[in-house]
Structure 1
Amino acid sequence: MNSLLSLYAIVVCYNGKRWLEKCLTSLQVSEYPVSIIVVDNDSTDGSVELIKQYFPDVKLIQSKVNLGFGKANNLGIKYALSEKADFIFLLNQDAWVRKDCIGKLLDCFRRNQKAGIVSPVQMDGSGTAIDYKFKQHVSKYLLEGDISSLEKESTNTTAEVAFVNAAAWLIKSECIRQVGGFNPLFPHYGEDNEYAGRIHYHGYKLYVQAGALINHDRDQKEDHFGYLVWKNREYVSFMKHLLNINKSYLSCLWVCIDKFSREVVYFTIKGRLAHVFGEIVASFKVLFSLSTLKRNRENAKKQGAFL
């Protein structure tokens, strides 16, 4: 199976010069051959110049504006599909793959015919421990078993998950042609949750493959949010619920109302008034967007949506 497959990796870059050499080099020396696409979101730190000088074989797509994660990946996905890619590997600019990682992910597809997305295990930047946020996500969204089955590098365990973040996704092109691209309503964050929902809607599954490893060089601690970040985060959270096409629109509305009520009460009791205000502002923003969100739900169900 593997020897005949064309695989394209897409790296969305925004001012990621400090990581790019390690990220792109890891793809170049992968045991499984990879064609590389970089979509640059109008970087100003010399990222483009570095790519042109040291990675001339990389297909560089330059955007004149910052498109965010989802829309930038859509540009790369369209190009890869036009080149007849069998698989597309999405990789964050602040991550790099182990040499045998991609081959192990492809083996998972061979064993699981309904797989749409397979993720490697994300280690931290040092490679000595599982990435903090990855561990949180997988522990929450594992459909059976527990995270310990994925922590052993020597194991060949494959775990089905409801969701895993898109720092490193290997996606079957057949799946992309059915499910489509990332939803353009999400400027940054949340687009991978919504996409995972559409994966399930179209009958595909998500897996994490133990022993297939990447390093993800980001903060290994809990996030703390002020008003502006919390407001934007909650707006995205409301959108994720409302755009869940696996549930009816009315049930999604009820989930949002319940979430709003519980969180306003909780933050009021805790005296975190900035969070209360952020919650209220985000909810009003969603209210004014309901007609757009409802139309988007219908578009998201279509074959090849948003591509």
Structure 2
Amino acid sequence: MKKIKLALVTINFNGLKDTLELLESILKAKIPSQLDLSIIVVDSPTREEHVSAIKKTYPRATILTSAVNLGFAAGNNLGIRKALSKGADWLMLINNDCLVSPDFFIKLLSSPLDKPDTGALGGLIYFAPGYEYAKKIKPSEKGKVIWYAGGIFDWNNVLGSHHLVDRVDPGELNKVTETDFVTGALFLARADVLKKVGLLNQDYFMYLEDVELCHRLRLSGYQLLVDPDLKIWHKVAQSSGIGSSLNDYFITRNRLLFGLRYASVRTRLALIRQAIRQLFLGTKAQKTAILDLCLNRLGKGSWLK
């Protein structure tokens, strides 16, 4: 029986400790004989000591380096293209600040990823213990608080939210369900699908690029699914910092970019009115984001020097 070539892609962005812990969780996981797992780490921006440490932890890893910060979209695309050139059948994007369950890859074999109609597949993502937003949780509930169990997209406001976020896992999530979007924190797709629909849109740099790709998948007739048997833990906000000016800039610009391309005329007009208000009353990050969009300064934009 031919093995399935699974390429796992992750970005190391000044987060060596997290990346090594992700790799260690993979080393502890059971890899079924039917899977030929390869790991691609995109070190962006690269540091020699990071490359050495990653090689020491996982000698078989392919490390791609960049002298500059490529961002989420371009960084993952670099890894995806490398994986495709090596003949990968399945692609798995995962944030470096995540940990996989010991049976993750076993469960993956029985997932619907190989179904012809599946465009992208996500899993059940918990807050890593100690990284929960919810305050009133018992010590025994740490590691059981849900961060993502499916995505809900509000087209009227061009905002995404996570199903069951901050809820303790009720233990009843045992069915594959459809979702509005699969988060880029754990994004699985077949190579043939990505070759047909395309990769992440690098205009976004970071934030909403996963939603945009999922929308293109849906427009192409594919399903977006979540399999709760695929469990990982996420050290939320380690990669970019929720609530930061960086977050404010890219969310503002990319929400406008996405909405003006794909939303209804009514929603587009509402977004334009909101953008005009923010130009006068918004934060510095919001004002810069709107100006950059108007001037077609996409990708990295002008906020990151």
TM (norm. structure 1) is: 0.76
Deviations 1:7-60, CA, capped at 9 Å, x for gaps: 110111111111122201222333234211111102449322211222211111
Residue 110 (structure 1) shift: 5.9
Deviant stretches of 4+, over 6 Å: none
**In the TM superposition, what are the counterparts of 1:1-307 in structure 2 within 5 Å?**
4-32=3-31, 33=35, 34-44=37-47, 46-109=49-112, 112-126=115-129, 128-132=143-147, 134=148, 138=151, 147=164, 151-153=169-171, 155-219=173-237, 223-226=242-245, 229-244=247-262, 251=264, 254-262=266-274, 273-275=281-283, 279-289=286-296
Distance 2:9 2:30 in 1: 17
Distance 1:111 1:61 in 2: 28
Distance 1:28 1:211 in 2: 19
Distance 1:40 1:110 in 2: 28
Task: Verify the 8 A CA contact 1:118 1:207 in the aligned structure 2.
Answer: yes
More strand per residue: 2
CA RMSD of aligned residues (A): 3.3
Residue 111 (structure 1) shift: 7.8
Letter in 1 for 2:281: L
Distance 2:47 2:41 in 1: 15
Letter in 1 for 2:100: V
Unmatched runs of 5 consecutive residues or more in structure 1: 294-307
Distance 1:153 1:22, change over 3 A: farther
Distance 2:234 2:175 in 1: 21
Distance 1:197 1:173 in 2: 17
Task: Verify the 8 A CA contact 1:194 1:243 in the aligned structure 2.
Answer: no
Residue 4 (structure 1) shift: 3.0
Distance 1:280 1:21, change over 3 A: closer
Residue 97 (structure 1) shift: 0.6
Distance 1:156 1:111, change over 3 A: farther
Residue 237 (structure 1) shift: 0.9
SS of 1:234's equivalent in the other structure is helix
Task: Verify the 8 A CA contact 1:15 1:46 in the aligned structure 2.
Answer: no
Task: Verify the 8 A CA contact 1:101 1:120 in the aligned structure 2.
Answer: no
Taking every aligned residue pair, what percent have the same amino acid on both sides?
25
TM (norm. structure 2) is: 0.76
Distance 2:222 2:289 in 1: 32
More helix per residue: 1
Residue 224 (structure 1) shift: 3.4
